[in-house]
Every structure is written in C-alpha cells, then in structure tokens.
Amino acid sequence: MTRIIRLAISTCPNDTFAFHGLLTRAVDWRGLDFEVSLLDIEALNTGLTRGDFDVCKASFAAALAVAGDVVVLPSGAALGFGVGPLLLASQPGSVPRDAAQVTLCPGEHTTAALLFAMFHPRSTRIEHVVFSEIMPRLRDGSADFGVCIHEGRFTWEAQGLHLVEDLGTRWEGATNGPLPLGGIVASRRLPREVIATVQRVIRDSLDLALADRAAALPTMRAHAQEFDDRVLMQHVDLYVNEWTRDLGETGRRALDAFAGRAASVGVGITTRDDPARGAARLEIFAG
C-alpha cells in the first residue's frame, strides 16, 4: 500500500522553485504519495503546532515550539547571510519606540516576529497579519512599521517605504553566523526510512530546479505575489544556496545559536528537551 505523505510548503518563490520537480512529478516520488498544500507561512506554522502535516516548511521559531516532535530535513531550508526580514516604516526617520505605534508582523510564530521581539522588545504594539498585507497597510498609513519578508525585500523602495533596519544584518552582527529562517521538518511519527525517502525526493526536486532554473518559472508564477520574473529569480538567488541543499555543520551551529537566543525571549523553553539549559534544540535528520 502506498504511503501517503501530507506535505505543506509555502507559496514563496524559493519553495515553489525547490519543490517544482515534486509538484509537477518531474522527479520520482520513490513509492510515496504526496498530498501537497501550499499555504501562507503562518498557516504552516499553526498547522505544524496542531500536528496537521507529516512534512512541512516552517519557521524555525515555530519548529522550536515542537522540537521534541519533529526533525529538520537537511534539504530545503532558508539559511544564509543577507536573507533576513526588513523592518520598514511608513514615514522616513521613524524608529519603533512608542507603545502607541503599530508594528505589523507576518505571524506570531514566524522567525521574523521573533527577531523583532529580540531586537526591539516591548517597543510598539504588534499586530500579526498575512505577510502580503504588510506593505499595503504601511502605504495607506494604517500602521507605523512592518517586518517585511518574501518578495517585498526587493520591492519596498519602489513602493515608497523606508528602511529602519535589516534584522538579518543585526542577527549576523550579534552571532557572527548565518540567519536560519525556516526549513523542512518531518514528524517523528514517520518511520526513519520514510523520512529518509522524503529527504531524497526533496533533494532530487531541488537538484532538478538548479539544473534548469527557467523550467521552474511557471510553477513559481502560479503562486507568487510578485509576477516579475526578474524579482522571482532574485528571490531564488538570495534564499536558495549551498545550505538549501544541505544544512551541514554550519546549519547545525546556526540552529543551536538560534535556539539559545530564542530561549532568552521565552521561545522554545522546555526542561524535557534540555534539562540543563531549559532550551529546546532542533535536530537535523541524519538518515
């Protein structure tokens, strides 16, 4: 009997690029039957915490909350230098420092929201909205600041918005390492041999896209917020790198640093996972 895998990924271009081969069955599913959902990142994070998926893309901040129940797959992650979310303002020269101000974040469990909490604690009132609502609300003046992710990193200037800071650059300066944004996690309920097969399919899909980047464009366009092919490929150039193929030792160190700093603001605290430190850790699957 074919094993059904409930797989969920985001609609952002780096995911639809990496999973193009899987989504179109251009790669061998290796005896598995993938039921795929494409969702906003916070819907993915919420579904992860509810146990809705067997395998899914998730913010590493959300994965920390269920670290004992999942493993991180070596392939498919977004980790690197210069990849962080941007803190934008509706007005030039503004800084978040007033409880009457409003900062929009793309979801309570996103890495973007966690970074804002780390570097601007208790500075403004936070509202969580779908990421595609953030820049329109900054433009119409219904919010003061927004933590911008995905394609908006390349279009904010054209939309008349103003950069407060690059939160990824802030992270790099504080840790001397790359920023781990999100990755593919698999439920520990799955047998290890099944997780290993899923990992191989994902690596096959990513390698196919890297070998023929243009072939993935129709899949990327079908789900993107921004339809300029140049912007879509800028997104791929930024977020798909050597660590997307394999997190490796650099990825493990980055995830350990992330877990430790997240614990400092109360994310991923659990004595079950690490009684000595009280901080959850994310395990990278080795199968």
Mean pLDDT value across residues 199-214: 97
Mean pLDDT value across residues 85-96: 94
Q: What pLDDT, on the 0 to 100 scale, is given for residue 103?
A: 97
Mean pLDDT value across residues 15-40: 97
Q: What pLDDT, on the 0 to 100 scale, is given for residue 275?
A: 41
Q: What pLDDT, on the 0 to 100 scale, is given for residue 267?
A: 57
Q: Is the pLDDT score of 255 beyond 90?
A: yes
Q: Is the pLDDT score of 264 beyond 60?
A: yes
Compute φ and ψ for 87, nearest 5 degrees: -90, 115
Q: Is the pLDDT score of 271 beyond 60?
A: no
141 versus 279: the higher-pLDDT residue is 141
CB within 8 A of 240, min separation 6: which ones? 14, 17, 18, 206, 210
Q: Is the pLDDT score of 203 beyond 70?
A: yes
For residue range 103-160, list pLDDT tens digits in order.
999 988 899 999 999 999 989 999 999 888 999 999 999 999 999 987 677 788 888 9
For residue range 222-237, list pLDDT tens digits in order.
988 766 888 889 889 9
For residue range 43-84, list pLDDT tens digits in order.
999 999 999 999 999 999 999 999 999 999 999 999 999 888
Q: What pLDDT, on the 0 to 100 scale, is given for residue 274?
A: 47
Residue recorded with tokens 């350990």: 256
Select from 40, 73, 30, 41 the least CA-distant residue to 188.
73
Q: What pLDDT, on the 0 to 100 scale, is given for residue 149?
A: 84
Q: Which two tokens stand for residue 5?
A: 């895998």
Q: Is 150 a catalytic residue?
A: yes
Mean pLDDT for all residues in the chain: 91
Q: What domains does the chain contain, in order, with CATH numbers?
A: 3-80+179-263 (3.40.190.10), 86-175 (3.40.190.10)
Q: Which of 150, 162, 223, 235 is catalytic?
A: 150
Q: Is the pLDDT score of 167 beyond 50?
A: yes
Mean pLDDT value across residues 28-41: 96
Q: Is the pLDDT score of 85 beyond 80?
A: yes
